Amino acid sequence: MGVTVPNASTMNWFQFRGITNELGPNGASTDYRQFTVSKSGEFNFKINDINTNIKIVDQNNKVVAEAKAKNESASANAKLGPGTYTAIISQATRGVNNREYTLEVTERQNIMMLASGGSMKGTARQVAGNDPGVQKHTLNVVQGGEFVANMSLPYTRWAIVGKDGKVAASGDTMDPTKMGQDMLKKPSFKITPGQYELVVVPPKNVAGEVPYQMNFLPKIAKDATDTTEERPIDKILRERESRLRDWAAQDASKSATSGSSTSKPYKMAVIT
């Protein structure tokens, strides 16, 4: 058993590094590590070593999350309430003993998106080995619409994935020169209400820990070069005003050419 018992609620992330040197109930080489949760929240659990399984169990030995890494890293997530939990790390192949592992535990943010937009704050860290550096968060779209994403971290990719596994929106900041461009000129995406997974892939070669922010802003304004569509009533009034100006100009022209001493006064005939 590990000696340090971290509190997942007070840390953005932490790692368990150890060796599977105990015999598990299924005969596989296993290790056990404990952590606590002081405030309800959602967490990610990622095993970075291939052919390694993880299970997260609560005080009643109930499995709340599990993942199996085969040829690449694997992850799982769970909403946890206050209490003590145990991470069970075991080798997928029996007979493989005393093998090192790295289990990463991170906070999984629950982002709320309204008609006014939404935002999240994260931390990019340098990764090593088989860790692809993928970060996952929950995105709850309460009010859908058309949005523009603004990521503050360069050389980063992101995607919004639905429960059906389809990508609803994606983007990147692989060209840092475009990060400061006008928000109205950035590509926008439309999204409907529902729960999605926000996947962020920061660069792997960051120095230490680098905080970043991602904002979703509603696209409600038009580009200054766009022409505003004329309302029907405005068109009627504009055309009427134009006709009145034309008539007034024609009357003024007739008055100027017909004013002579021999001209006969205009007589009004009354019809009885």
CATH number of 110-218: 2.60.120.380
Rounded Cα gap, residues 127 and 200, in angstroms: 14
* 99's tokens: 């093998």
Q: Assign residue 194 a region (left: φ > 0; alpha: ψ between -120 and 50; beta: otherwise).
A: left
Q: Which CATH number fits domain 8-107: 2.60.120.380, 2.170.190.11, 3.40.50.300, 2.60.40.10?
A: 2.60.120.380
- pLDDT per residue as tens digits for the range 221-259: 554 444 456 666 666 767 776 777 777 667 666 655 555
- pLDDT per residue as tens digits for the range 74-92: 899 999 999 999 999 999 8
Question: Dihedral sign, CA of 75, 80, 82, 85?
Answer: negative
The predicted structure's pLDDT at residue 219: 85
The pLDDT tens digits along the chain (272 residues) read 445 789 999 988 888 999 999 988 888 899 999 999 999 999 999 998 889 999 999 999 999 999 998 888 889 999 999 999 999 999 988 878 889 999 999 989 899 999 999 999 988 888 766 677 889 999 999 999 999 999 999 999 999 999 999 999 999 999 887 776 666 677 899 999 999 999 999 998 888 889 999 999 998 755 444 445 666 666 676 777 677 777 766 766 665 555 544 444 434 444 43
The boundaries of every CATH 2.60.120.380 domain in the chain are: 8-107, 110-218
Say if CB 48 and CB 130 are below 8 A apart.
yes
Say if CB 81 and CB 92 are below 8 A apart.
no
* b (16+ CB within 10 A) / e for 9-37: beeebeebebebeeebeeebbbbbbebeb
